[in-house]
Amino acid sequence: MSKVQQMLDIRKQMKELSGSMSDAEANEYMDAVAGFNPRMFKIINTVSTDAGVCFGNYYSTVFSDGALSGKVKELMFMAGGVGTMSSKCIVHNIPACEQGATIPEVFEAATVGVILGGFSPRGAGIPYAFDYALKCIEGASAFHNELSASGDKAKAKAAGFEAMAVRGANIDGGIDR
């Protein structure tokens, strides 16, 4: 049996298994494999759990270590969010911090995002992108301060999101302005 056929067989088994999941089980799977579950997939999972499971697998593959570390990929995503003023993207600084990103690394990546916002067509503009960069630095600082104080990564994550004014202290929230 070829590797392609083996993968197709595994995919068929995964599709059957994910199709038998409840939406709550699919949401739990996405949280476990991707680290979050966007609101859109909480809705999609009520119709097709296979879609949520596949997205979770894809997302975790993209952000896993490869030629670039997962930390660098999270910082890249965050920088793009700064440049486009996306509250849903800048929260990627917290997973980057969980993977060891320091405040100076978050700062440097955020400043790249500021430049992106100022020089890309229809970009946010430097003054506006700077506001988002500041949110990233505040979130990273709160994460690291809480981690130093308590040693608890879950508390540090919540503190980072709270400092960024992310509703519900989770990755699928939005920044309150």
Structure tokens at 116: 């992106």
d(CA 55, CA 73): 17
Res 175: pLDDT:
43
pLDDT block averages, 10 residues each, the chain of length 177: 91 85 90 81 89 88 95 96 91 94 98 93 87 95 97 94 68 39
Res 171: pLDDT:
43
Cβ atoms of 105 and 98 closer than 8 Å: no
By CB atoms closer than 10 A (0-12, 13-18, 19+), residue 161 is: buried
Give the pTM: 0.81
d(CA 44, CA 49): 7
d(CA 114, CA 98): 23
Res 166: pLDDT:
58
d(CA 26, CA 47): 11
Where along the chain do its domains lie?
3-62, 70-169
Q: How far apart are the first and last CA of the chain?
A: 57
